[in-house]
Structure 1
Amino acid sequence: MENVLFYLLHLSLLIVLSLMLFLFSMTNKKQLHYTFIYSVVSLLIWNIGYLLEAYARMHYGYTVMLFVYIWYLGLCFTPAFLLITSIVFDKTKINYKRYLFLFIPPVVSFIMIITNERHHLFFQTFSVYNTETVVGNYFIIHSIFMYGYMIVCLFNFLYSSIKNSGFFSKQSLLIAIGSLVPLVTNILVTTKVIKVPLYTTAISFSVAVLFTAIAIFRYHLLSISPVALRTIVDRISDGFMVLNDEYRIIDYNKTMEIAFEKILTISRSRSLKEIFRDTCLIDDDSNLIDFINMAKISAMSIIFEKHIQKGHFDKHFSIEVTPIIINKSHLSTVILFRDITENVRHLKDIEEKHAIMMEQERLASLGHLIGGIAHNLKTPIMSIAGIVEGLQDLVNEYRASVQDESVAVSDHLEIADEMQSWLNKIKPYCSYVSDIIDAVKGQAVKLSASSTVSFTINELVKRIQLLMKYELIRYKCELNTRINVNLSSELYGDINSLIQVFDNIIINAIQAYEGKPGFIDFHIDSDNENILFTIRDYAKGIPNNIKHKLLKEMVTTKGTAGTGLGLYMSYSTIKGRFGGEMWFESKEGHGTTFFVQLPRKIRNVS
C-alpha cells in the first residue's frame, strides 16, 4: 500500500508540474488564472517537500526536518490560495489587499512548525505516519483554520458553479468531486481512521487539481469568468427561463425576475404552473403550456404576444418558446420574454394621432365638398329659378286670357308651347343637380364609414370629372383626360378614398397656377399587374428644399393658406388602403407630375 502511494506521489508531482507549465504558457491571463497558479505552485512545493523527505529518509534512515519544513510551507498555504481562488471565481475580480488577513493563520502555523522543537505546541511527537504522530495543542487551532478554509472554498466553488452552470453540470460535478477528495482524506488522516504516510494528503490535493485541470482543458472553466458571463446574461434586456420536461424552472436571469417581481416570485425548481397561477399565461385557453407542447412537437420556435394584467400590473410581452433538442432528444425549453409595453403604447398613440389627422382631413374634405356643392348647384338653381319666374308670367298671362273673348285658340296654344319650352329647359338642370347629389352622397358616406367594393375606371373618372368641374371652371383650368385602359377595368377598395386622393392632387395642380389659366393632364395607363394614374401640371414646380419632405411630412408651399395634410394623408391612403405606390417628379419653373400606381383588384388593407 505504501509503495503504491509513493508512486502516486510521483504521479501527483508530474500532474502538478505539467499543469503549472501549462498555466504559465497561457496568454491573456486574468486574475482567476493567477490565483490558480499560486495554488498550483504552493501544491508543487508541498509535493516536492514530501518527495525530498521520502528520498532523504530512504538514504539516511531518518527524517530530515528541512524537507519537512518545505512540505509544510506548501501544506499551510495551499488551502489559503485555493480559498482566494474560489473567491475570485465567485466575484470575478477582487482587491488582494482586502484578503491578506487570510494568510495570517498559515504564516503563524508555519512559524509554529519551524519553532516546534522549542515549544512542542504543533507536534509533541513527529512521524511521517499519521498513527504515530502525537499532535500538540496548536495543531487543533491549525486544523480548524485549514478545514474551515477548505469548506468555505468548496462552498464558493459549488455555489458559483451551480448558480452559473446548473446543479447537474459537468463543471459542478468535477468541482464537487475534486474538492471532496482532499477534504475527506484529511479528515481520515487527522482522525487516524486509516494508517498512511502524511504525503497522502498531498496526493489527495493533487486529485482535486487534476479534476480542476479537466474542467479547464475540457470545459474551459477559466476561459471566461462564470460571474462575468452571468452578469452579461442578467443585463440583457429580455428575460428568459429554462424549463425541464416537468415544466419546472432550471434557470432564469435577473431581467425575468425584475419584470414580474410585483406579482410573483420566480425561483429554481418551482413549477411554471405554480408560479404563473391566476395569470392569463396559464389560465387562458391558449396558454403557455400549450405553446410549449406545440414547440416540442414541431421542434421549432413559436412566437406569440400576451397582455398580462393582474392588479396594478399591466404589461405586454412578446414571448418566444424554443425547444432545445439534441440528437432527437428534448433536453429543455427556453422561454424568452420581451417587454413590448412601450412599443404597444407608442403604436396606440400613433394610431390615435393618425385617427385625428384622418378626421381633420375628412373635415377639410367635407368643407371642400360643401363649397363645391354650393358653387356647382348655384348655376342650375339660378337657372331653374329664372325658368320658374318665366312660367309664373305665362301662368298669369293665361289666366287673364281665359275670359278675354278676343284671345283666339291659337293664342292659348302659343302660351302652352312657351310653357313646354320652359319645362324642357328645366330637365337638363335637374339631371345635372341629380348627378351632383349622387356623387356628393358617395363622398359624404366616407365621412362615417369606408366602403370596400369593386369599382370600374369609368366610374372613377366620371366622379372625378364631375366633382372637379366647378374648380376647373372657376380657376380657368382645363383637365386633359387620356385613358389607355379598358374603362370596365376594375379596382377593389374604397372608391371614395381614392377620389379624395385625386381631388387633392388636382386641386394642388390648379392652385399651382396661382389663379392663371393652365392645363392639367390626367392620364391612365396599365400593364398586366398595375394601373398607373399620372397627373401633371405645367406651373411653377415644387421648391427643392421641401421635395425630400413631401409625402413623408406635413409640408406646404402655400404658406398659411395650406397645412400639407392633404398630400400626406393621400400617400398614407394609397400605401395603407390600396397597397399601391405614390411618388412625384418636379422641376422648378417647369411643373410637377404625380404618379399613383395601384395593383389590380387588391383588397382593402385598412
Structure 2
Amino acid sequence: MDAVTLRILYLMLTILIFFIISCIMKGSLKIIQKLYIASSSFLIIWIGAVAGITWIEDKKAPVLVTLDAVTCASMAFLVMTMFIMSYCFVHNLTVMPKKCCWLYLFPIVTSTIAFTNPLHHLFYRHFSVYVSEVQFGPLFIISGIQYYFWSCASIFMVLRYGLKNRHKMIVWQVMLFSGGLTVPLIINVLATLKIVDFSIAATPMAFFFTIICHGYAIYFLNFLNIKPVALQNILDSIADCYVILSSDSCIINANQPFLDNFGDDYGMRINSYLTSVVEELEPRKRDVIYNLLNFFDICKQSTSVISYEQAILCERGKLYYSVELTPIFIRRKLVGVVALFADVTKLKEDMRREKQMLSREMERERLASLGQMVGSISHNLKTPIMSVSGSVDSLERLIMEYRESIGDSEVTPNDHAEIAAEMEEWLKKIKGSCAYMSDVITTVKGMAVNMNTSNITEFKLEEVFKKVLILMKQNLIKHRCNLIIENKLPEDVYLKGDVNNLVQVLTNLVDNAKDSMGTKGGDIVLRAWYKEQVVYISVTDSGTGISQEVKRKLFVSMYTSKGAKGTGLGLYSSAGLIRGKFGGEMWVEDNPSGGSVFFVKIPLNT
C-alpha cells in the first residue's frame, strides 16, 4: 500500500472519529442517526484494522490473521446495519424492532468463523495478505454471497420505496442512499472477478463514500425525516383518496387508492396533466375531469377551500365522493392544490334508506293524524248535526201547526206570537250549532292548509287554547275527560310563530293525557303562566304515569308505549317543533298526586 493511500486512510479515520463525537455530543439521537453512527463506527474499526495490516512489516505474522478477521467482521456488521437502516427508512420506524436484532446473528456467525479460522481453515485454506497467494475456503464464499445479498436487498428495498412515493425529498434521499451502497458493491464485484487489481484499502475507502452520502442525506436533506411520510399518513387518514396538483394542473403526487380508482378508468396518473387526460377519455367519463378542472380553477382564483360532490363509474359500480380542494402556498405564492376524496357512497345509501324509512314513518304518522283528525271531526260534528236535525224536525212540526191554525177562529194572535217565538228558539239553536261546526271546520282546514308551510304571525295563547278545545271537546267527552284551562298570561303577551304548530303540539299532549287516563277519565289541566320573558305551558293528568326509562327516550327518539296504535313521532316531532319553530324546549315530570306533567317553555325574545 502506498503512502498516499495510507494518508487517505488516516484522514478518513480522523474525519469519522470527529463526526461521531460531534453527533454524540448533540444528544437525543433518533434510531436512524444511531444506526448511522454504528455503521460509521464499524467502518472506523475496519479502516483501523486495514491500517494496522500495513504497519506490520512481517507479512507472515500471526496477528495479521486477527486483523483480517476484524476487517471481515466489521464489513459484515456494517452491511447488516445499513440493511436495517434501509428497513427503518422504508417502514418509517422510530424504534428498531426486535426482529431486526436477530439479523445480527449472520455477522456474528461470520465473525466467529473468521476469528477461529486457524482451527478449521473454513474461511481461508491458506491465508496471505497477497491476493495471488491466498486460498479461500467454502465459508468465505458464503460470506461473500451474504454481503452481496444484503447490499442488493437494501438497494432494492429503498429504490422500490422511492418509485412508489415519488416525493421530491424522498427521491433525493433514495438516490443518495442507493448510490452510496452501489459504489462499494461495484468495487467488490470488480475485485472479486479480478477485473481490477485493487488493494485491501479499496473496499473500506468505497464505504467511506457511502458514509458521506448517508451523512449528507441525514444531516442536510434530513434523511428519513418522517414529516413527508407523516403528512402522507395524515392525508390517508382523513381522506380515502388524495391527489396533489401543481398550479398548471399536473398530477405530482397521489396515494395508491386514488390511482386504483382513477388511474386506469380515468387516465389520471402521476406526471400527467388534467387538460391532456380529458382529451383522451370517452365522453361519458369526461365530466369527472371537467368538474375537477373547474373547481381547481375556482380554488386557485379564490385561494380558499372549495368542496363539491362527484359520482364516478368504476368496476364496483357507481361511487360517490365528497371532494375538498385546498390551495397550497409557499411564501405566499400559490404553487398547487391538494384534492381530498372522501367516499360517501355508503353514507348516501344509508341516508337514502333512512329517508325512506322516515318517509314511511311520517306517512304512517300522517295517516294516523288524519284518522285522529277525522275521528275528532266526526265526534265534534255529530252532536251539533243531531241538534240541527232535531231543531229542523221541531220547526217542521211548528210549521204544520201554524198552517192548520190559519183561518181557525179559536187561534188568537197570542197563539201566533207563541208559535213564532218557539220557532225563533229553534232557529237560534240551529245558528249556534252551525257556528260551532263552522269553527271546527275552519280550525281543521287551517291546520290542513298550513301543515307543510310556515305562517309566522303574532298570536295570543287564548286563540291556541280555543282551537285545542274545539278539536278535542267531543273526544274528551267520549272518554269521560274534562279539559280545565287556566290561562294566567297577561293580556299584552303575544307569542310569535306558527299558531297551528303550537295547536298541533298541545293537541298531541292533551290527547296523550286523555289516553293515559284510561276508561276512568278525569280532569286534564291545561295551564299557562308568564315569568321573566318566558311563557310556560303545562298539561297535567292523573293517569298511570311514565317510567324513568321511557322518559329518557320520549323526546330524543321515535319511541311509543302505545304499541301498534302509536308511531312514536308525536312527542318526538312536537319537541322538534318547539325547539325549531319557537326556540323553546319540552320536558316531563311526575305529578305528585299521580300521573304526569308535560311542560313547554317558549322564550319571548326568540
TM-aligned CA deviation for residue 388 of structure 1: 0.9
The percentage of counterpart residues that share the same residue type is 30
Question: Which of 463, 485, 494 is equivalent to 1:489?
Answer: 494
TM-aligned CA deviation for residue 322 of structure 1: 2.7
Aligned residues: 583
Question: Which of 181, 188, 207 is equivalent to 1:205?
Answer: 207
TM-aligned CA deviation for residue 507 of structure 1: 2.0
> Are 1:48 and 1:71, in contact at CA under 8 Å, matched by a contact in 2?
no
What pairs with 1:348-387 in structure 2 (closer than 5 Å)? 348-387=352-391
Question: Which of 477, 483, 496 is equivalent to 2:482?
Answer: 477
Separation in structure 1 between the aligned mates of residue 163 and residue 218 of structure 2, nearest angstrom: 17
Separation in structure 2 between the aligned mates of residue 538 and residue 174 of structure 1, nearest angstrom: 85
> Are 2:267 and 2:277, in contact at CA under 8 Å, matched by a contact in 1?
yes
Which moved further from structure 2: 160-169 or 96-105? 96-105
Deviation readout 1:492-550 (Å, 9 max, x if unpaired): 34x4343221101112233444434324032053755x644333345553233422222
Structure 1 residue identity aligned to 2:482: C
CA 1:483–1:173: 2 relative to 1, 3 Å: farther
> Are 2:384 and 2:433, in contact at CA under 8 Å, matched by a contact in 1?
yes
Deviation readout 1:128-175 (Å, 9 max, x if unpaired): xxxxxxxxxxx9999999888766644433332453462444523532
The match for 1:133 is: none
Separation in structure 2 between the aligned mates of residue 485 and residue 283 of structure 1, nearest angstrom: 63
In the alignment, does 2:90 pair up with 1:88? no
Separation in structure 2 between the aligned mates of residue 420 and residue 45 of structure 1, nearest angstrom: 129
Question: Which of 596, 600, 603 is equivalent to 2:600?
Answer: 596
- What RMSD in Å do the two structures reach over aligned CA positions? 5.2
CA 1:279–1:13: 2 relative to 1, 3 Å: farther
Separation in structure 1 between the aligned mates of residue 303 and residue 195 of structure 2, nearest angstrom: 55
Question: Which of 528, 536, 561 is equivalent to 1:523?
Answer: 528
Separation in structure 1 between the aligned mates of residue 369 and residue 48 of structure 2, nearest angstrom: 97
TM-aligned CA deviation for residue 485 of structure 1: 5.1
CA 1:371–1:77: 2 relative to 1, 3 Å: closer
The match for 1:335 is: 339
Deviation readout 1:408-438 (Å, 9 max, x if unpaired): 6665555444434432332122111111111
> Are 1:46 and 1:70, in contact at CA under 8 Å, matched by a contact in 2?
no
Separation in structure 1 between the aligned mates of residue 73 and residue 582 of structure 2, nearest angstrom: 82
The match for 1:463 is: 467
> Are 2:522 and 2:542, in contact at CA under 8 Å, matched by a contact in 1?
no
TM-aligned CA deviation for residue 578 of structure 1: 4.8
Question: What SS class does the counterpart of residue 287 from structure 1 fall into?
Answer: helix
TM-aligned CA deviation for residue 392 of structure 1: 0.9
Structure 2 residue identity aligned to 1:517: G
In the alignment, does 2:575 pair up with 1:574? no
TM-aligned CA deviation for residue 320 of structure 1: 2.8
Structure 2 residue identity aligned to 1:482: N
Separation in structure 2 between the aligned mates of residue 171 and residue 486 of structure 1, nearest angstrom: 82
Question: What SS class does the counterpart of residue 327 from structure 2 fall into?
Answer: strand
Separation in structure 1 between the aligned mates of residue 373 and residue 209 of structure 2, nearest angstrom: 92
Structure 2 residue identity aligned to 1:480: I
Separation in structure 2 between the aligned mates of residue 401 and residue 141 of structure 1, nearest angstrom: 141
Separation in structure 1 between the aligned mates of residue 583 and residue 349 of structure 2, nearest angstrom: 25
In the alignment, does 2:320 pair up with 1:316? yes
Structure 2 residue identity aligned to 1:499: V
CA 1:163–1:226: 2 relative to 1, 3 Å: farther
Question: What SS class does the counterpart of residue 321 from structure 2 fall into?
Answer: strand
Question: What SS class does the counterpart of residue 523 from structure 1 fall into?
Answer: strand
Separation in structure 2 between the aligned mates of residue 96 and residue 353 of structure 1, nearest angstrom: 58
CA 1:193–1:331: 2 relative to 1, 3 Å: farther
In the alignment, does 2:18 pair up with 1:13? no
TM-aligned CA deviation for residue 309 of structure 1: 4.7
In the alignment, does 2:440 pair up with 1:436? yes
Separation in structure 1 between the aligned mates of residue 193 and residue 566 of structure 2, nearest angstrom: 98
The match for 1:395 is: 399
Question: Which of 430, 435, 458 is equivalent to 1:426?
Answer: 430
Deviation readout 1:455-489 (Å, 9 max, x if unpaired): 33334333223223334444241322314255673
Which moved further from structure 2: 64-73 or 156-165? 64-73
> Are 1:250 and 1:268, in contact at CA under 8 Å, matched by a contact in 2?
yes
Question: Which of 233, 238, 241 is equivalent to 1:239?
Answer: 241
TM-aligned CA deviation for residue 601 of structure 1: 9.1
Structure 2 residue identity aligned to 1:199: A
Question: What SS class does the counterpart of residue 456 from structure 2 fall into?
Answer: strand
Structure 1 residue identity aligned to 2:217: A
The match for 1:134 is: none
Separation in structure 1 between the aligned mates of residue 275 and residue 193 of structure 2, nearest angstrom: 50
> Are 2:80 and 2:104, in contact at CA under 8 Å, matched by a contact in 1?
no
> Are 1:105 and 1:145, in contact at CA under 8 Å, matched by a contact in 2?
no
User: TM-score normalised to the size of structure 2?
Assistant: 0.75
> Are 1:542 and 1:588, in contact at CA under 8 Å, matched by a contact in 2?
no
TM-aligned CA deviation for residue 36 of structure 1: 6.3
Deviation readout 1:212-271 (Å, 9 max, x if unpaired): 134345566468799999889768773222333333333333443455578446643233
Structure 2 residue identity aligned to 1:48: G
> Are 1:541 and 1:588, in contact at CA under 8 Å, matched by a contact in 2?
no
CA 1:116–1:161: 2 relative to 1, 3 Å: farther
> Are 2:46 and 2:70, in contact at CA under 8 Å, matched by a contact in 1?
yes
